[in-house]
Amino acid sequence: AGTVPDITGMDQEEGYEQLKEAGFYLEKISWENDRDSRRGQILSQEPAQGQPVPQDRVIRVAISAGPRKVMLPDVGNMTEAEARALLEGLGLVVADAAGVYSDTVEEGRVISQGVASGEVDEGTGITLEVSLGERPPETTRARSSQPAGSRNQPAGGQQPQQPAAPQQPAAPQQTAAPQ
């Protein structure tokens, strides 16, 4: 008899050693993709922790195969909504899009993606740059209606006062000795 230790969350090798020390055997019953667990991590066990079992009882475990791999497509020139729907449908995490002015990509369409297309782990974060369209022309600043010379004066027409420079002691003067 004995009590089953909790080995969930441990690496497979560590769980095996702990079970062996307690007189149990480990049997892998499945490999499961899990985007929140590292490859080789024990996801579940049967019987569960604390249950009494005979010393020769086999503990069955499910092991993480890590995140599922997905093919990240190139979403350039798709609308932001199309790109977001496609990427989230693949199990990827789309960050808030950054708006960027573009003379060549229509407003609302994807200019670039933060991760190159190809095989990535499910749950990978993707940042999109989305076109804001062409940059609007710079507006010229309206000329001030104040008369020349009065722009930097405080109210009342007084000249601003400059703080006095700190006084430095005069350096002693040296005279050349006659030769």
What number of CA atoms fall less than 13 Å from residue 171's CA on the CB side? 3
CA geometry: angle 108, 110, 113, nearest 5 deg:
150
Tokens of 53: 């079992």
In the predicted model, is pLDDT for residue 30 greater than 80? yes
Residue-level pLDDT at 4: 85
What is residue 50's predicted lDDT score, i.e. its pLDDT? 83
Q: What is the mean pLDDT of residues 101-121?
A: 96
pLDDT of 12 above 80: yes
Tell me, what's the pLDDT at 51?
A: 80
pLDDT band at 155 (very low <50, low <70, confident <90, very high): very low
User: What is the structure's pLDDT at 116?
Assistant: 95
Question: What average pLDDT does the structure give for the chain?
Answer: 83
Higher pLDDT pick, 159 / 8: 8
Residue 99 reports pLDDT greater than 90: yes
Tell me the mean pLDDT in the region 128-154: 68
% of residues, the chain, pLDDT over 90 = 61
Q: What pTM value is reported for the model?
A: 0.59
- Alpha-carbon span 121 to 38, nearest angstrom: 11
pLDDT at position 141 is 58
Q: How far is CA 156 from CA 144, 148, 159, 162, in A?
A: 18, 15, 9, 17
Q: Is 64 in contact with 36 (CB distance < 8 Å)?
A: no
- Tell me what pLDDT residue 28 has: 94
- Residue 151, pLDDT > 70, answer no
pLDDT of residue 54: 59
**pLDDT tens digits for 80-96?**
999 999 999 999 999 98
> Which amino acid, 25?
Y
Q: Is 170 or 89 the better-scoring residue by pLDDT?
A: 89
